C-alpha cells in the first residue's frame, strides 16, 4: 500500500466543494487522466464530499471533511473522503432507479459513486468512503 500523496481538509460548508473540484482537477492534470475518466472521478468525488458535508457532518461548520489521495498500485488512483459524523447504513439505501424513486431529487450519490468508480468501499460505518479509479496507463519502457 502506498502512502498518502495529498490531503486537504476543510469545514463542512457546501461552497467548499470547489476545493475538491480543484484538487481533482490538479491530480488529473498531473497524472494526464483522459477527459472521460476525469468526469467520472469529478462526479464521484463531488457526490462523496457533498454527502460528507450534508449527511455526515450535517452542515456543522465545526466539523471537517478530509480528502486524501494516493496511488496504491500501477493502475489505480485512490481517493478517500472522511467526515466526522456517526456514519450510515450504506447497504440499506433505496434504489434510485426503482420506479417509486425516479422522481426524487436526492438519493443518487452513493449509486453514482458505486457505478462510476472501479471500487467503492465504505469504512468505519460509512464515515469513510474510498474510491478507486483504474485509469493509469502503463508507461512504455
- Answer yes or no: is 22 within a domain: yes
Confidence check: pLDDT of 58 > 60: yes
Q: According to the model, what pLDDT value does residue 137 have? A: 77
Asked if residue 139 belongs to a domain, the reply is no
Q: What is the pTM of this model?
A: 0.90
Q: Tell whether the model's pLDDT for residue 1 goes beyond 60.
A: no
The pLDDT of residue 139 is: 44
Q: What is the mean pLDDT of the segment spanning 46-55?
A: 96
Give the three-state DSSP class for 41. Answer: helix
Rounded to the nearest integer, the mean pLDDT of the chain is 90
Domain, as residue range, for 117: 6-134
For residue 20, is pLDDT > 90?
A: yes
* Mean pLDDT of all residues in 70-80: 95
Q: Is residue 67 part of a domain?
A: yes
Alpha helices (H) in the chain, listed in sequence order: 17-30, 35-51, 109-116
Binned at pLDDT 50, 70 and 90, residue 56 comes out as very high
Beta carbons within 8 Å of 137's beta carbon, 6+ residues apart: none
CATH assignment of the domain containing 125: 3.30.565.10
* Phi/psi of residue 68, nearest 5 degrees: -125, 155
- Asked, for residue 129, whether it belongs to a domain, the answer is yes
Q: How distant, in Å, are the alpha carbons of 33, 77, 100, 103 from that of 129?
A: 21, 14, 27, 26
Number of domains in the chain: 1
* 141 within a domain of the structure (yes/no): no
- Residue 66: inside a domain: yes
Q: What is the pLDDT of residue 90?
A: 77
Q: Is residue 140 a part of any domain in this protein? A: no
- Whether 34 is in a domain gets the answer yes
Per-residue pLDDT of 81-131, as tens digits, reads 999 999 988 777 777 777 777 777 667 888 999 999 999 999 999 999 999
Amino acid at each position: 500500500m502506498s502512502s498518502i500523496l495529498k490531503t486537504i481538509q476543510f469545514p463542512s460548508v457546501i461552497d467548499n466543494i470547489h476545493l475538491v473540484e480543484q484538487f481533482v482537477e490538479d491530480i488529473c492534470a498531473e497524472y494526464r487522466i483522459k477527459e472521460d475518466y476525469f468526469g467520472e472521478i469529478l462526479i464521484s468525488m463531488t457526490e462523496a464530499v457533498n454527502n460528507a458535508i450534508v449527511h455526515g457532518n450535517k452542515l456543522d461548520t465545526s466539523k471537517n471533511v478530509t480528502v486524501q489521495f494516493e496511488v496504491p498500485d500501477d493502475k489505480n488512483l485512490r481517493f478517500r473522503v472522511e467526515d466526522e459524523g456517526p456514519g450510515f447504513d450504506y447497504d440499506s439505501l433505496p434504489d434510485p432507479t426503482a420506479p417509486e424513486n425516479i422522481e426524487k431529487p436526492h438519493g443518487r450519490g452513493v449509486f453514482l459513486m458505486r457505478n462510476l468508480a472501479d471500487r467503492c468501499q465504505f469504512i468505519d460505518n460509512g464515515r469513510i468512503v474510498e474510491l478507486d479509479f483504474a485509469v493509469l496507463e502503463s508507461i512504455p519502457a
